[in-house]
Every structure is written in structure tokens, then in C-alpha cells.
Amino acid sequence: MKKNITINMFGQLYAIDEDAYELLKNYLDAIRQHFRKEEGGDEIADDIEGRIGELFTELKSSGVQAITIEHVESIIKRIGNPEDMESPAADGSADEATQTQNTSSTPEGQQQANSNTASTSANSGTKPNSGTRKKYYRDGNDKIIAGVLSGAANYFGGDPLAWRLGYVLFVVLWNSVSNWAIFDHFNFVPVFSIPILLYILLAFLAPCAKTPEERLKMKGIDVTPQNLADELAQQAKERGDGLPYPPKSKQHGCLNAFMTVMGVLVKIMIGAFFLFMFITFLVVFVALISIIFSPTNEMPSFIDSELIPIYTEHPFLFWFTGICVLLILFIPGYCALHSLLSSSGKTAPMSMSQRWMWFGLWIATIIAVTVCGVNISKIAHKHFMKDNTFEGVLMNNTDQNYFKLTQFHLKGANPDSNDVWHIHTEIGQYYDDRIRYFSAWDDGILDYYQIERADTFLSPGIYRLTAITRTDAQGAYLYAIADEKKLQTAIPANGEQGGNIWEEAKTKLSLNPADSLTYGGIVASNDSTGCGWNKVTLDNIVLTGNTIKYGVSTIPTFTNAPCYCTWVNSMDFLLEKVK
Amino acid sequence: MNIENAKSQMRKGMLEYCILLLLKHQPAYTSDIINKLKDADLLVVEGTLYPLLTRMKNGGLLKYEWQESTQGPPRKYYALTDTGSAVLVELDKAWNEIANTVNILKNIT
């Protein structure tokens, strides 16, 4: 049973099978296309169409109720392929090329005309003509995701299944290869995903072979009416069998099932990816909208606070980047939606120029966002540095607050160490791990560190300075300057073990075990070996004026002693008036 | 040398001349021209004829009028123009020369 339609040719009505009509339409389109360039081309095409009408009329009067695809095929053979229709032009000489071209196809035409029409699907037109250039198409009839690989199999030859397995292997291998050090230079691209990106790109940019004409081009077969007829017949046969794929891929049942499952999984992943993109899009969109409509025109609280200075200082950059980010998310989503709609026949598929336009726009927005992102991160870095610098040294807010609270200042710091938190404050290694202390360390020798506090409005007298400190080698000093006279004492280099505080606690605890609340923790610390903390005292600081400056230094020019230590910790500075 | 090739070139070269000959005495429908040429084994595919007729018409050699058909659409009824007749005379001469040359060449041995 076949669907039948009625066509009108020059006022005459003919009943024709649908597949026959499709073939006829393709044929007439090919003819019009062929003669389009020629003067009077439309007239020629009309004449041929008229001739077909004439032949249809003959068929009708010979008792044919409905024109079938076989009728159309035989008529096409009678009238010939457009390529065969060249004839000596008036000037003659320019025709040499077409003539030689004709002669190659004319014998074939005869041969085909002689062969049995009914057996067309047997030889199925798969005579790849050397003169035809294959075109890359995705194979819409044999696809698991988008038909990219079956298209490749058609284009380069080979079995689609082999291509699919090869591709999966390629993705896996690529993932291991992408860990190689050479790709470190390209880390702005997610290297691991390049094969997947290639697939997506081809799925988007390469056209899908849907019409018989495109399928012939995909297979590299000449687009001639005969071949079109064969392709149509083959498709009709496949549809009749109810097979989703051409029978040849059915041979590998098990592997094919595996590929199908993989395809479903990948489709789910793609779906999840698009969902993620959609949610991201919504979040960015809502954020941008809420900025516009917020009464104070300020950033809503859920936006990263690092973006606030960008927004207030560079609104154009902010908006431009925001819109580009939206586009980056929107374009693939839109195109995916469009392709979904077009594959279900609700809209026409995108033209190539549209595809390239979207693709170009997408690439442009990616470049724009990359460039803007670099600038934004530079600005953000500038702000970050401003917020996290204390007296010329990179320092986080906790450390800064500790300095401010204890009224200490940085007198010495390595200017080169700005990128590392060399000078900071810590908690955790004192006996009570809630107590914060000053800390400084270096990969090499810490011979540049000095912190200092100045106590002013003191009354003259004799003072004593104590501090709790530790260091790993000679060179760190506790100092005090009163009346421009410097006193200093070396910090004992116990490293991270022992120390006089631990010794004292041990002694006190052995004398009076009841004091374990005070001393037990200290004694037991660091597996009962102590943490190296020493109480250091500077006595007899004589002050006649009103200011004493004191602190810790490792700078040899200041301490007049070589420095070998690599780290210093200090805390609990206490300046007492003794007399 | 491809014989089919040579034969088809010969046929193609003669086609215009033969069309003029066919229309020399009376006008004809396109389908008549096709049938006669096919009978003479000058035409492999019908489609070849249509561009040729249009070109000859555009070149002023042929003219046509539409004739109503009892069944089917109206058809083109082709006839020679004066120019066509003149060209035919010229081609006759040319053909005789060619035929002469070929005969001479044939009888040389």
C-alpha cells in the first residue's frame, strides 16, 4: 500500500505515488538547477516538464491508474540525466570539456537503460563515480548521538561501528595523553575534552544528510535521477522493514547494543550538561537583572564580593562580560533547542550561514570573555593586594588584625617574598592551641625579619621586657631601645623541642603533681618533648625619656650578629617597670 | 580510441543539421522530432533535444507556435525560419563537402 497524491502539470491532473513524486521532484529540481545558468534555461526545463506530462498522458491513456516510481524511473532514463543533455553550443570550441565528460556517462546510461529496472535496489546504485567528490554529511539514518561518526565512516570508508569504538578509545587515550607535561602550556583549553569538542563542533556545523540527494553526496555517488531513484527505493525498503538503521550495522548485535547504551548514557550526560548550563544562565541572568532593579543599584549579596569593585569602578566591563557570559551559555542552548525542533520537523534546519554565524558569535564571545576575564582578574588582584597588604607585605586580614591589636609594626621584610605568606601569625603550636603568635619563615635564611612596638608616654625608670619566643638557630634577638640605647638578648635556639617553659613546667609538676591543670598540658605537649618555647627576659632597661621601642629582629646589620635561623615565633611581649 | 565516444561525438555534431532537415518540409511537434531522431538512432536520451531546440530557437533558426492538444497540455509546434532555411542550405553544402572528403578518403586505398 502506498500513499498517493495528485499533481498538476500544465493544467493536467495525474495520480502519482508519493515516492514517485519525490523522485520526479528531485529530477526536475536537478534539471532546473542544471540549466539555471543557461539563457532560456527555464524554457528548457519547462519543455522537459511538458514532455514528462506528455508521457504521463500516454501512460494514462494506456490504462495506468497511478504513476509509480518505476514509471518515473523509466521516463527519467528516457529523458536522461541533466549531465547528458549538453549539446554542441553555437561556438562549439568551449564545449570540448563537456563532451568528454558526456562520453564517460553516456555508455553507463545505456547500460543502465538496458538493465532491468526492477533490480535497481539490487545494484542499489552504489557505483561511486570517480568524478564525484564526496561531501561530509552526518548520517541521520544511522546515528547514536548525532551521526557524526557514521558520517565519517561514509566519508572515509569503514564500518560505522569501528569508527565509534575507535572514537571511544581515542577519547580514553586522549585523556591519558592530555596529562602530559607538554599540554601544561595549553591549560587555558580543557585539553582533555578536545575530541569531545570536535564531536560537538561537527555535530553542529556539519549538515545532516536527510534528503536522498544529500545521502548520495554523503556516499560519494553521483546525484543522477537513477541513483536518486535507487536511494529512494532503498530508504523505502528500510522503512518498510521497520529498521532504524541500515541492515549492515545489525550484524554486530552485541557491540551495537553496547554502543546504543553508550549513546543513551552520553545523551543523558549531554542533557545534564545543558541543564547545568541553563541553570547557570538563569543564575547569571537573575543576578544581572536584580542589579538593574535593585533600588540602590548595588550588587546583591549573593554575588561574589570580589566582583563589587569591578562593578563600581568598571561598570561597562562588568556588563559587557556579564552579557558575553550569558551569550556563551545561551548560544549552545539555543542551537541545541533549534536542532531538537528541526529534527522533529517543527522548524527548518539552520542554513550553513546561520550555523557559521552562531559559531562565529560564540567564538567571539568566548574570546571576549577570556580577554575581559583577564582584565577583571587583574583588577581583582589589584584590589586583593590592596586589601591584603600590611606595611608593604602580603598578609591576610587575620594577621593584619593581630598586628594592629598588638600594636606591632613590620620593620623588616623581604621585598621579594610578596607572593608568599612568609610573614604572618599562627595558632596551633603553642601549648594552648588557641593562642596566636607572630611567625616568620623562609626557605633559606630568615635574615630580614623585624617586628617592633613603641611604648610612649612612659615614666622614667628601669624596665624589664619579657617575651615568649622560639627559633631554630642562632641569629634571632629580642631587643629593646630606650634613650637611643639598644639592649638585646639572643633567643635560645631550641627548635621545636624542649625550651625553658617546658623545663620549668616539668619541674613545677614534679614538685607538685596537683598543678597538672596548669602544667600538665605543657609537659605532655609534642609527645612530652616540649615545643621549644623559651621565656626570654631583657633586664635593666634604663629610661630617662618616655619611649621604649622593642621587638624581635634577625637582621644582622641591626643585631650585629650573623643570622642562621630560618624561622622565628614570638608572643606575649610584656614591658614592666621594675623601679 | 573509444568507439562509443567517437560515435556519440559524430551524432552530436550532426544533430542540429538533422533537426533542420526534419523540419525542412513540414513543421513538427517536439515529440515527432524525438521519435524520428530516435528511429534514426541519433538520440540516446530525449533530454538532449530540449536545450538544442531552445538554443536554435534563440539563435533564430527555429520558431514555434503553441498547438492545442486533444489530450494533455498544449504542445510546441516547431518550424524553420528564413534564417533556418538559409543555414540549412549552408549546412547542406558543408555536409556534401564532408561526405565528399570522406568518400575520397575511403576510396584512396
Please write the tens of the pLDDT for every residue from A313-323.
888 888 888 89
pLDDT of residue A122: 36
pLDDT of residue A98: 38
Taking an 8 Å cut-off on Cβ atoms, the answer to whether A54 and B48 are in contact is no
Please write the tens of the pLDDT for every residue from A332-390.
888 888 888 887 777 777 888 888 899 899 989 989 988 888 888 888 888 888 888 88
CA A211 to chain CA centroid, nearest Å? 34
For the segment A163-190, the average pLDDT, to the nearest whole number, is: 71
pLDDT of residue A310: 76
Handedness of CA A416, A420, A426, A429 (dihedral sign): negative
For the segment A436-445, the average pLDDT, to the nearest whole number, is: 87
Q: Which of A43, A82, A106 sits opposite B44 (nearest CB)?
A: A106
d(CA A413, CA A393): 7
Could you give phi then psi for residue A436, rounded to 5 degrees? -95, 145
Q: Is A54 helix (H, G, I), strand (E, B) or coil?
A: helix
d(CA B57, CA A254): 65
Taking an 8 Å cut-off on Cβ atoms, the answer to whether B4 and A47 are in contact is no
Calculate the CA dihedral of residues A319, A325, A330, A336 and round it to 10 degrees.
170
Chain A closest CA to B25's CA: distance in Å?
23
For residue B95, the tally of other CB atoms under 10 A from its CB is 14
Residues of A in contact with B4 (CB under 8 A): 103, 106-107
- Which chain B residue lies closest to A101 (C-alpha atoms)? B5
Residues contacting residue B97 through CB under 8 Å, at least 6 positions apart: none
**Strand partners for A486:** A481
d(CA B106, CA B101): 8
Q: Are A382 and A375 in contact (CB under 8 A)?
A: no
Residues of B in contact with A53 (CB under 8 A): 72-73
pLDDT of residue A344: 76
For the segment A137-154, the average pLDDT, to the nearest whole number, is: 82
pLDDT of residue A244: 42
Please write the tens of the pLDDT for every residue from A261-303.
888 888 888 888 889 889 988 988 888 888 777 665 555 565 6
Topology of domain A393-496+531-577, CATH:
Jelly Rolls (2.60.120)
For the segment A54-83, the average pLDDT, to the nearest whole number, is: 84
Residues of A in contact with B31 (CB under 8 A): 51, 54
pLDDT of residue A184: 57
Q: Which of A9, A51, A109 sits opposite B44 (nearest CB)?
A: A109
pLDDT band at A246 (very low <50, low <70, confident <90, very high): very low
d(CA B47, CA B25): 24
Interface test with A, best of B14, B29, B33, B50 (most A CBs within 10 A): B50
pLDDT of residue A539: 92
Q: How far apart are the first and last CA of chain A?
A: 120
For chain B, the farthest-separated pair of C-alpha atoms sits apart, in whole angstroms, at 57
Q: Which of A39, A87, A106 sits opposite B52 (nearest CB)?
A: A87
Taking an 8 Å cut-off on Cβ atoms, the answer to whether A90 and B59 are in contact is yes
Strands A138-139 and A208-209: parallel
pLDDT band at A469 (very low <50, low <70, confident <90, very high): very high
Residues of A in contact with B9 (CB under 8 A): 99, 103
Q: Which of A489, A506, A493, A562 is nearest to A534 (CA)?
A: A493
Please write the tens of the pLDDT for every residue from A493-513.
988 888 899 999 889 888 888
Q: How far apart are the first and last CA of chain B?
A: 22
pLDDT of residue A477: 95
- Which chain A residue lies closest to B13 (C-alpha atoms)? A88
**Strand partners for A410:** A451
d(CA A20, CA A52): 13
DSSP for A145-214 reads SSSHHHHHHHHH-S-HHHHHHHHHHHHHHHHHHTTSGGGGGGTTS-GGGHHHHHHHHHHHHSPEE-SHHH
Q: Is B1 helix (H, G, I), strand (E, B) or coil?
A: coil
Interface test with B, best of A38, A55, A87, A226 (most B CBs within 10 A): A87
**Cα–Cα–Cα angle for A84, A89, A94, rounded to 5 degrees:** 95
pLDDT of residue A421: 62
Chain A closest CA to B15's CA: distance in Å?
9
Residues of A in contact with B72 (CB under 8 A): 12, 53-54, 57
Taking an 8 Å cut-off on Cβ atoms, the answer to whether B13 and A47 are in contact is no
Please write the tens of the pLDDT for every residue from A102-122.
333 334 333 333 333 333 333
pLDDT above 80 (res A230): no
Q: Which of B4, B53, B76 sits opposite A107 (nearest CB)?
A: B4
* A112-to-A27, A77, A107, A146, A499 alpha-carbon distances in Å: 17, 8, 8, 35, 104
Helix ranges restricted to H, A206-314: 212-219, 225-241, 253-293, 308-313
Q: Which of A44, A89, A102 sits opposite B50 (nearest CB)?
A: A44
Count of the separate structural domains present in chain B: 1
What percentage of chain A has pLDDT greater than the value 70?
Answer: 80
pLDDT above 60 (res A189): no
Taking an 8 Å cut-off on Cβ atoms, the answer to whether A51 and B73 are in contact is no
Domain extent, residue B52, equals 3-107
d(CA A245, CA A257): 12
Residues of B in contact with A110 (CB under 8 A): 44
Q: Are A406 and A453 in contact (CB under 8 A)?
A: yes
Taking an 8 Å cut-off on Cβ atoms, the answer to whether A44 and B46 are in contact is no
Q: Which residues of B touch A (CB under 8 A)?
A: 2, 4-5, 8-9, 12-13, 15-16, 30-31, 34, 44-55, 57-59, 71-76
Strands A461-471 and A567-577: antiparallel
d(CA A430, CA A446): 21
Considering A100-114, A241-255, A419-433, A478-492, the range whose residues carry the highest mean pLDDT is A478-492
Residues of B in contact with A87 (CB under 8 A): 12, 15-16, 48-49, 51-52, 55
Q: Which residues of A touch B (CB under 8 A)?
A: 9-12, 31, 35, 38-40, 43-44, 47-48, 50-51, 53-54, 57, 61, 77-82, 84-90, 99-100, 102-103, 106-107, 109-110
For the segment A414-432, the average pLDDT, to the nearest whole number, is: 71
pLDDT of residue A565: 92
Identity of the amino acid at B75:
R
More confident residue, A15 or A177: A15
Residues of B in contact with A38 (CB under 8 A): 51
Q: Flag the least confident range among A145-159, A290-304, A535-549.
A: A290-304
Residues of B in contact with A89 (CB under 8 A): 55
For the segment A554-567, the average pLDDT, to the nearest whole number, is: 92
Taking an 8 Å cut-off on Cβ atoms, the answer to whether A47 and B72 are in contact is no
Taking an 8 Å cut-off on Cβ atoms, the answer to whether A57 and B8 are in contact is no
**DSSP class of A563:** -
pLDDT of residue A245: 42
Q: Are A258 and A264 in contact (CB under 8 A)?
A: no
Handedness of CA A322, A328, A331, A333 (dihedral sign): negative
Taking an 8 Å cut-off on Cβ atoms, the answer to whether B45 and A103 are in contact is no
For position B46, which CATH number holds?
1.10.10.10
Q: Are A160 and A139 in contact (CB under 8 A)?
A: yes
Q: Are A479 and A464 in contact (CB under 8 A)?
A: no
Q: Flag the least confident range among A38-52, A93-107, A417-431.
A: A93-107
Residues of B in contact with A50 (CB under 8 A): 73, 75-76
Summary mean pLDDT of chain A? 78
d(CA A508, CA A562): 35
Each residue of A433-448: b (16+ CB within 10 Å) or e?
eeebbbbbbbeeebbb
pLDDT band at A85 (very low <50, low <70, confident <90, very high): low
Q: Which of A237, A272, A6 is nearest to A124 (CA)?
A: A237
For the segment A74-90, the average pLDDT, to the nearest whole number, is: 68
Taking an 8 Å cut-off on Cβ atoms, the answer to whether A79 and B47 are in contact is yes
Taking an 8 Å cut-off on Cβ atoms, the answer to whether A31 and B2 are in contact is no
More confident residue, A519 or A305: A519
Taking an 8 Å cut-off on Cβ atoms, the answer to whether B45 and A79 are in contact is yes
d(CA A229, CA A22): 9
**DSSP class of A67:** B
Task: Walk along chain B (109 residues) and give the pLDDT tens digit of each residue.
Answer: 678 778 877 877 788 888 899 898 888 988 888 888 888 877 777 888 888 888 888 888 899 888 887 776 778 889 999 988 999 999 999 999 989 999 999 888 6
Chain B closest CA to A121's CA: distance in Å?
22
Please write the tens of the pLDDT for every residue from A1-39.
678 888 888 888 889 988 888 888 888 887 887 787 777
Q: Are A419 and A393 in contact (CB under 8 A)?
A: no
- Which chain A residue lies closest to B32 (C-alpha atoms)? A51
d(CA A59, CA A65): 8
Chain A closest CA to B107's CA: distance in Å?
30
Residues of B in contact with A84 (CB under 8 A): 44-45, 47-48
CB pairs A-B closer than 8 Å: 98
Q: Which of B16, B50, B72 sits opposite A88 (nearest CB)?
A: B16
Residues contacting residue B82 through CB under 8 Å, at least 6 positions apart: none
**Cα–Cα–Cα angle for A393, A299, A372, rounded to 5 degrees:** 65
